Amino acid sequence: MTVIAAPRTTSSLTRGLLPVLVTGAVLALVPLRYGESRVMMGIAVAGVLFAAYAIAFNIIFGSTGQLFLCVGALAGIGGYTSVILSDQFGLPMLVTIGAGTALAGLFGASFSWIAVRRSLDTIFVGIVTLAFSLAFEQFILGQRDFTGGETGLRVGTGGDTFLREQVPPYYLFVGLLVVYLIIYLLLHRSHLGWAFRALRDDEEAAELAGVNVTRYRIYAGVIGSAMIGLAGALFAHVEGFIGPSTYSFGSVDIRVLVILAFGGIGTLLGPIVGAATFTVLDELLAGLTQLRVVIYGALIVAIFLGFKRGAIATVASWWRRE
C-alpha cells in the first residue's frame, strides 16, 4: 500500500524549511557586525518587526484576499493591552502579552467573519479596516488616562529583563520571525494552503467543492491578526515606550505595503527581502525627514506601477472571481 499525501507534504515542508533556516542564520549574524551600536540594533529590531508584520499580512491578504488595512491597529491592540494590563493592573507579562495577542486575533476574526457574512468586496473590507485603524488612533489619543494620549506610555514591565538589553531582543525577534515563516509554510503546504488557493481563485467554486470559505477566511484572519498582535506586544516591552505613532496607519500599514510591494506578495521570503531593502533605505534617508515621505510615496507609486505585471497582477489574480 502506498501512502500518497503524507510524504509529499513532509518533503515539501522540509524543502521550504531550508530557506527559512538559512534566513534565520543570516539574520543571526547581524549582531556580530553591529552588536556594539545600540542605535543599529534598534534599527535591526524594527526591521525584523516589520518583516514579521509583513508575513502576517501576507497570510491575511496574500492568502485569502482580505485587505486588512489595520496592521498598525492590530499591533497596537496587542501592545497597548499588554502594557496597560501589566503596568497598570500588575498582571504578569507573559499573561498580558498573551491577552494582547488573543484580543488582536479576536478582532481579526471579527473582521473576517463580518466580511464573509456581508459578502463585502475587497475594497469595502479595506475601507472598513481603514476606518477602524483611524478610529483606533483617535481612541488612543482620546483615552488619555489609560493610554497616555499624545504623549504615550513608558513601559515599565519588562524593564528589568533581557528585553531591554542591546542584543538579546534582536535574537528574540529573529526567533519570532523564523516561527512566523514556519507558520506561513505550514499554512501553505497543508490542506489549508490548498483551500486558500482554491478560494482565492474562485470562491463560488471552492464553496461548491466543499471548502468552507467562511472558516478559512476566519482562520487566516485570526492567525494573521494574532501574529501581528504578538509582535506588537513584544515590541512594546522591548522598546520601553509606545505612543500613537508607534502603531498608526501612516507608520505601520504604509510601510508594510511598501515592503510587500518591494518583496512580492504571496512569496515566502518576499517580506524578508522587502523589509531588508526598506530598512536600509530608511536609514539612508534618515536625515531628510520630509523628503523621506515624498520618496516613500513616489516609491509606492513607482513600484505598483512598475511591477504591475508582478505585484498587482499577482494580487489581482488572487481575489478576482472569474
Partner 1 sequence: MKAVLFDGLVLGLQYGLLGVGLTLVYGLGGILNLAHGQMAVVAAISAALAMNAGMPAVPAVLLGLLVGGLIGLLLDSTVMRPVYKERGESRVLLSLLLTIGIGFVIDGLLVWQFPIATLRLNIGGGPISIFGVPMRAGSLVATAVALIAAGLLVAFFRYSVTGRAVRSVIQDEEGARLVGVNPAAVRTLIFSLSGVLAGLVAVTRSMTAPIGVTAGISFTILALIVAVIGGLGSVAGSFLAGMILGVINTISSFYIGTYITTIVLLTAAAVTILIRPSGLLGQRE
Q: Whole-angstrom Cα distance, residue 129 to residue 105?
A: 14
For partner 1, the closer of residues 38 and 144 by Cβ is 144
Nine-digit cell string for 45 = 529590531
Cell of 4: 500518497
7 vs 297 by CB, closer to partner 1? 297
Least Cβ distance, residue 224 to partner 1 (angstroms): 18
Binding mask 275-294 for partner 1 (x = CB under 8 A): ---------------xxxxx
Region label for 90, one of left (φ > 0), alpha (ψ between -120 and 50) or beta (otherwise): left
Q: Are 229 and 101 in contact (CB under 8 A)?
A: yes
Judge whether 141 and 244 are in contact, CB under 8 Å.
yes
Given 155, 257, 259, 269, the residue binding partner 1 (CB under 8 A): 257
Alpha helices in 144-288 (DSSP H): 144-147, 168-189, 191-201, 203-208, 213-239, 254-263, 270-284
CB of 285 to partner 1, least distance (A): 11
- Sketch the per residue contact string, 100 through 139, with partner 1: x for CB under 8 A, - otherwise: --------------x---x-xxxxx-xxx--xx-xx--xx
Q: Which is nearer to partner 1, 1 or 309 (CB)?
A: 309
Nearer to partner 1 (CB atom), residue 124 or residue 162: 124
* Residue among 177, 180, 185 nearest 14 (CA): 185
Q: How many residues bind to partner 1 according to rule CB under 8 A?
A: 42
303-322 residues near partner 1, rule: CB under 8 A: 304-305, 308, 312, 315-316, 319-320
Q: Is 77 in the site for partner 1 (CB under 8 A)?
A: no
For residue 12, what is the enclosing H or E element?
helix 5-28
Residue closer to partner 1, measured from CB, 95 or 316: 316
Please enumerate, as own/partner, the contacts of 114-119 that have beta carbons within 8 Å and a separation of 24 or more. Answer: 115/66, 115/217, 116/213, 116/214, 116/217, 116/218, 117/214
Strand partners, 153: 242
Closest distance to partner 1 from the beta carbon of 302 (Å): 8
Exposed/middle/buried for residue 242 (C-beta within 10 Å: 0-12, 13-18, 19+): buried
In whole angstroms, the minimum distance from the beta carbon of 292 to partner 1 comes to 7
Binding residues vs partner 1 (CB under 8 A): 67, 114, 118, 120-124, 126-128, 131-132, 134-135, 138-139, 141-142, 254, 257, 261, 290-301, 304-305, 308, 312, 315-316, 319-320
